[in-house]
Amino acid sequence: MAHYEFHGELRTMIEKHTPSKLNVEELFESYIPLLEKEDQGLETIYQSDLTAKIAQKNEERGTLYSGIYENVRSLTKHFSPSIVESAERLKIIFRTYGNISKRSYNEATASIDNLTAELMENHYKELNTCHLLEWTNILKQSNEDFRNLMKKRNEETAQQRSINMRELRAQIDKIYRMMTERIEASALLNGEEDYKDFIAEVNNRISYYKEYNI
């Protein structure tokens, strides 16, 4: 993604200073279609069928989590003292984890892993008393299903990028180097006045991407 972002910014800078002024008109004409192909390739990746399934599974596990917590809160008003006591203990655990559904995918996955492990290992008795063992197991499985979908999409994305993007990005980078060499040569030949602002802007963006390891 950073590759496309950098070259998208470069495209804007070249258009701002104009390809003719920078003496890269024919190179820029070859550069634009390649950038558009990279954009289309990224869009294809993000529109994967798995993306919709991941969103659905994330909503499912969020609903399960909320459902268990709502049951726990309701059971704190149960007529049975033993159920109330167990529910109060479970309520403390859920409050510790907070609203998991508002966290990032990875953070939510880790939180549900930790929650279900803690419940099953340390609060099995309370879950059993409150009849929430099945709920907890279903939440655990839903979270595992989510993790597997994410893994599958990551593998799919990596494969698509390696097949479709590697050669394309190499072509883009080659034209980029040719343009920078042309501009530097023109600056040496004709003087820096017409090129210094553009060169400074490009160097600034390169420094930014290097500084933040983007």
Q: What is the mean pLDDT of residues 27-56?
A: 85
pLDDT grade, residue 177 (50/70/90)? Answer: very high
- For the segment 176-203, the average pLDDT, to the nearest whole number, is 94
Q: Pick the residue with more confidence: 27 or 159?
A: 27
Q: How far apart are CA 191 and CA 5, in angstroms?
A: 30
* pLDDT the model gives residue 41: 76
Confidence band for 211, pLDDT divided at 50, 70 and 90: confident
> What is the residue type of 94?
F
Angle at 35 between CA 33 and CA 37, to 5 degrees: 70
pLDDT of residue 49: 75
Residue 163, pLDDT above cutoff 60: no
Higher pLDDT, 114 or 161: 114
Q: Which residue ranges make up each domain of the chain?
A: 2-48+153-211, 52-149
Q: What distance lies between CA 207 and its chain's CA centroid?
A: 23
Whether residue 192 is predicted with pLDDT greater than 70 in this model: the reply is: yes
